[in-house]
Structure 1
Amino acid sequence: MTRFVVICCFIVSFKIFAQPDSLFFKQSTIPLTPIWSQDNKFGVDINQVAFVNWNSGGVNSIAALFALKSALKYQYRHFIWDNLLDARYGVNSQQNQELRKTDDLLEVRSSLGYRKNKFTNWYYSARFSFKTQFAKGFNYPNTDNVISKFMAPGYLFVGGGVEYGKNIEKLSTYFSPLTLKSTFVLDEDLSNAGSFGVAPAEYDNDGNLIAEGERVRKELGILLTSAYEAELFQNIAIRNLVSFYTDYINDFGNIDVDWELVFDFKVNSFVRATLGSHLKYDNDVKLLVEVEDPENDELEFAEEGARVQWKQILGVGVIVGF
């Protein structure tokens, strides 16, 4: 399954990248004085459906997605430093149901790059990224058992390698032979259960706790990423980010995949529509399914194998730059 996902990502990315030749042949400029640039955007997407005496039936609902993205960039001669803060939180409310979370992300990324001269497109590069979420997550409609929360999980990547990109702001490929991946599960119940790949707690035959579950799992492996941004047509832009990671020690060759593809449709300076797809596969993240316990007739969670995760987003909203 993992190899199939990787092949699909490569095929689609190749078809996307095989578009404008200007990305490959555009001559980059070299700033002779230090340049700082910042771009901040805040957006709100709202979707609402209401029914009054509607003979086909339906459920009243309202959904909102709040997003903040802040990019800070520094350039001087052959040195570049890119920083990004990406935060999203979405909720949905339907008639006769509690408020439910639909999206939740807090991510920080930083990248350093240096090249010897203006004639080369290869950069010595170092990268840092951190990702977690704001609020508790549930396997709805069950809201009694928390399956995720802030820093459970949290992911930290730190590594160094080389990056290729002639027009590096729009199209680049990064390869790191040494990347440290740390998975944080700082919730006691989730860490004791061995969620997100950490070592679970140990119990004796009477169910007494002998050793608590692991709070941090560390891996050292290979990271390959590719990023692409372009305007396909007037007022239609695309963003594609795909990454592959495999650990040297634990299941080398078992590849974690993270692929995000987003189309932005610009209506005017403030209104835009977004169509996005996010596909993930991580062998350490197991699927939780509800099963009935025959002894007490209650629903419990059972852990199955890792599965491909997929999320699709379609929204229309307002975006403001500041």
Structure 2
Amino acid sequence: MKKLLTSILILGFTVQVNAQSFGEIQKVEPIGDQIYPIGAMPLISTSFDIVDFYQFEFNELVPTTGRTSFWEKINKFTLDLSEVAFLNWNAGGSNSISGLYGMNIGRIYKNDGFRWDNQFLFRYGINQQEGQELRKTEDDLELTSSFGYEVSKNSKWFYSGKFRFKTQVARGYNYPDIETSISEFMAPGYVFLGVGAKFVEPNEEFELYLSPLTQKSTFVLNQRLANQGAFGVQAALRDEQGNIIREGKTSRNELGILVTNEFKQKLFDSTVLSSRLTLYTDYINNFGNIDVDWELVFDFKINNFMRASLGAHIRYDDDIKIKEEAADGTLVEAGSRIQLKQQLGVGIVLDL
């Protein structure tokens, strides 16, 4: 027993001496928001029943208070719901419920003339009406990243490069036909990559991007849709009996001019107007024929958690041909058309 006690005392003394031989140490207690650049080192104290945390003296404590961050963040989540129910309603009607979920995640880095903007947008809406299957009403996924360097000190103009990716996540149908999809993830998918100049007015939340050299890539990774020549890709080559001789291409590349504009304008204390506009024209194929994607939204603030929105979305793409029903019931290609979507919703908004 005495030998065991003597051994333990020697071990404790040895641990203490070895710790001091590496450098003077001090016990650190957590203080407020202070952080430790190098992790604390656990050592067993000579009391044998308490585990303390030590840190070497040269690991200086760095307070986070007053520390400058070069990042700005946006975390906005929305959920709009609407419901209609009827019971013995003599005017008639169908029970229905619909929902629209939205995400807007943004990260902006600004330091020493550099500016790096990143934005992730996602919206997905569904509608369930009595006597019908669940239907998709909204489906947009977009990722944008631009990196720029200011033209001169404190200038609002930046030399800039921009990457943009757009697609949808779920299959789309030409209802009531739910057997054959007309779109799905990466069918279509769009990638824009180019260089140019960007003008930013932070206080007024205004941004204008001009690119004389942007590559637009269109992807249709569903071979059936690619064989049909959907969304402007080259269709399959067929013989007189309709048999495929050569599969359709699943991608298409264009080189042209891209102009984008985003701004927010506060109209009243509780009303904000937001606009997102994209214009693109290809140098080689039908130069001057402009693809348009314009979204205009009025946000009405009810309180800190409730809001109402009224919006319109206009698209025009010369490569997307609309199909119309002929007299015999078959679908025939009718050329390009303006696409229009209007939305009105009331729901919950969460800004973090």
TM-score if structure 2 supplies the norm length?
0.78
1:70 paired with 2:105, answer yes
CA offsets 1:146-172 (integer angstroms, 9 cap, x no match): 111110000110111012234377112
**Match status 1:199 vs 2:234:** yes
* Partner SS, residue 189 of structure 1: helix
Task: Tell me, in whole angstroms, the C-alpha distance in 1 between the residues paired with 2:172 and 2:261.
Answer: 30
Query: Paired residue for 2:119, among 84, 88, 113?
Result: 84
Task: Measure, in 1, the Cα distance between the counterparts of 2:287 and 2:248.
Answer: 24
Question: Does 2:333 correspond to 1:303?
Answer: yes
Q: Aligned partners of 1:277, 1:128: CA distance in 2, in Å?
A: 25
* Corresponding position: 1:41 with 2:72: no
1:162 pairs with 2:192: no
Counterpart of 1:22? none
Q: Is contact 1:184–1:216 with CA below 8 Å preserved after alignment?
A: yes
Equivalent pair of 1:283/1:306 in contact (CA under 8 Å):
yes
| Contact 2:204-2:265 within 8 A present in 1 as well | no
Q: Which residue of 2 aligns with 1:97?
A: 132
SS in 1 for 2:303: coil
Alignment partners' CA distance in 1, 2:321 and 2:116: 36
Counterpart CA distance in 1 for 2:76 and 2:140 is 16
Question: How many residue pairs are counted as aligned between the two chains?
Answer: 286
Are 1:198 and 1:216, in contact at CA under 8 Å, matched by a contact in 2?
Answer: yes
User: Could you tell me how far apart the structure 2 residues matched to 1:217 and 1:190 are?
Assistant: 13
Structure with bigger RCO (C-alpha 8 Å, 6+ apart): 1
Q: Which amino acid aligns with 2:166?
A: K
Distance 2:150 2:107 in 1: 20
1:104–1:161 Cα change, 3 Å: same
Shift, 1:301, TM fit:
2.7
Unaligned runs of 5+ in 2: 1-66
Q: Deviations over 1:119-159 (max 9, x none)?
A: 43221111111000011111111222211111000011011
Aligned twin of 1:25:
none
2-structure distance, mates of 1:116, 1:244: 24
Q: CA deviation at 1:95?
A: 1.0
2:266 matched to 1:231?
yes
Q: Deviations over 1:237-260 (max 9, x none)?
A: 111111211000111111111111
Tell me the residue number matched to 2:34: none
Q: Which of the residues 182, 186, 201 maps onto 1:147?
A: 182
Residues 60-111 of structure 1 deviation map (CA, whole Å, 9 limit, x = unaligned)? 1100111111111111121111111111110111111111110001110111
- Pair 1:315-2:345 in alignment: yes
Query: 1:33 touches 1:76 (CA, 8 Å); kept in 2?
Result: no
Q: Looking at CA atoms only, which structure, 1 or 2, has the larger radius of gyration?
A: 2
Q: 2-side partners of 1:66 and 1:121: how far apart?
A: 34
AA paired with 1:127? K
1:207 Cα deviation after fit: 2.6
- The equivalent residue for 1:213 is 248
What SS does the aligned partner of 1:190 have?
helix
1:274 aligns with 2:326: no
CA apart distance, 1:34:
5.4
Q: Relative to structure 1, is the Cα distance of residues 33 and 126 closer, same or farther in structure 2, using a 3 angstrom cutoff?
A: farther
What corresponds to 1:222 in structure 2?
A: 257
Instruction: Give the counterpart of 1:243 among 278, 284, 287.
Output: 278
TM superposition shift of 1:292: 6.1
Contact 2:147 2:162 survives alignment (8 Å) = yes
Task: Structure 1 unaligned segments of length 5 or more: list them.
Answer: 1-31, 294-298
Distance 1:78 1:264, change over 3 A: same
| Alignment partner, residue 21 of structure 1 | none
Percent identity of paired positions between Structure 1 and Structure 2: 50
1:200-236 CA-partner distances (Å, limit 9, x unpaired): 0001223322110010000000011221112111021
Letter in 2 for 1:263: F
- Aligned-partner Cα distance in 2 for 1:155–1:231: 32
